[in-house]
Copies of this chain bind each other. A is one copy, B any other.
Amino acid sequence: MAARSNRVTISDVARQAGVSSATVSRALSGNRPMSPELAEHVRKTAQELGYRTNLLGRALRQQRSSVVGLLVPDLDNPFFASLAEHLSRVVETSDMELLVASAGGSVENEARLISSFLDRQVAALVAIPCDEIESAPGLEQAISHTLTVQLDRRVLTTGAYYVGCDNRHGMDLIAEHVAHDVDTTAQPVVYVGAETQSSSAHERLDGFRRHFPDSPVFLGDFSTQWGQEAADQILESGLSAATIVATADVIALGLMSRLHATGHRIPEDFRVIGFDGVGVTPFAHPTLTTVRQPVEAISRRILDLVLELPQEQDEHEVRLEPTLVVGPSSPARDA
Contact = CB atoms under 8 A, between A and B. Distances in A.
Given A121-B54, A145-B6, A283-B257, A101 B99 contact: yes
Given A60-B60, A224-B280, A104 B76 contact: no
Nearest to A316: B1
Contact of A256 (B82, B99, B260, B285): B285
A101 B87 CA distance: 11
A56 B59 contact: yes
Contacts of A60: 54, 56-57, 60
A240 interface: no
A89 interface: yes
A65 interface: yes
Given A4-B146, A75-B88, A101-B98, A55 B281 contact: no
Given A6-B145, A67-B120, 17 more contacts: A2-B144, A3-B144, A4-B145, A5-B145, A5-B146, A6-B118, A56-B56, A57-B60, A76-B81, A76-B82, A89-B104, A92-B109, A97-B116, A99-B100, A253-B280, A257-B284, A284-B285
Interface in A112-162: 113, 115-116, 118-121, 143-147, 159
A55 B102 CA distance: 20
Interface string A255-278: 011001100000000000000000
Contacts of A159: 1-2
Interface in A52-102: 52-57, 59-60, 63, 65, 67, 74-76, 78, 81-82, 84-85, 88-89, 92, 97-102
Contacts of A331: none
Interface of A: 1-6, 52-57, 59-60, 63, 65, 67, 74-76, 78, 81-82, 84-85, 88-89, 92, 97-102, 104, 109, 113, 115-116, 118-121, 143-147, 159, 224, 250, 253-254, 256-257, 260-261, 279-281, 283-287
Contact of A145 (B52, B74, B102, B146): B52
Nearest to A81: B81
Contacts of A283: 224, 253-254, 257
A257 B280 contact: no
Nearest to A58: B119
A92 B6 CA distance: 26
Which interface residue of A53, A56, A118, A287 has the most chain B CB atoms within 10 A? A56
A114 to B, nearest CB: 11
Contacts of A78: 76, 78, 81, 279-280
A79 to B, nearest CB: 10
Nearest to A98: B101
B88 A81 contact: no
A321 B112 CA distance: 34
A-B pairs, top 3 by smallest CB distance, nearest first, are A81-B81, A2-B144, A75-B85
Contacts of A284: 257, 284-285
B65 A76 contact: no
